Structure 1
Amino acid sequence: MTSYQLRPSLSFCHAGGRLIFLDVEADRYLTLPPAQERALIAYLDAGPAVGIDVSALVAGNVLVKRPDRVVDDSPEAAVPARSAMEIPIPDSPPRLRDAADVMTQ
């Protein structure tokens, strides 16, 4: 059975009893027709094994086929050694050269 996921540039939240989508790629907000919204909620809750018809969501590019192998290409952030609150505040005001160094990095 084919497994689907939400298109990567699409995210949503549940607000006011509806799903509100942000399509980053198209730079717009949108909602789905009620039947598609119900199908998406059912699919996300139950998974592909239940056999919910998501063909309209696939045709509308809301859901895309889940890749067989998931590649995590998100950058890894180093664990901070201390917080900015622990860094002492300098007694003198910052120099113009310091500000320029920060802006070039």
Structure 2
Amino acid sequence: MLAVLTKRDDIVTAHMIYLSKLDDMGVSEKENEETIRFESPFKFNGEKVVGLVLPRVQNLKKGKKDLLELLVYFADIEKWKLEAMEEVKYDKINILFS
């Protein structure tokens, strides 16, 4: 699932896109305890979109309310905080783990 967040003034809009053909794609870390970032292959306004990998402990299957709260949190995160996060590679799984 790809969540695209847009924010204008205090209104956050989440656009949920379900991706079905990216099963062979992933990040270079198998486990993480903190939220980490990667450079997504998706672009917006000519710039690559930042992707986030959530810790395994943040199970989003608890309910829609948890997912909504998480999306609102990320909508308010400042760019410098994203840049300060550990970065991992995003690519085809067979390339990352060969």
TM-score (norm 2): 0.26
Higher helix share: 1
Higher strand share: 2
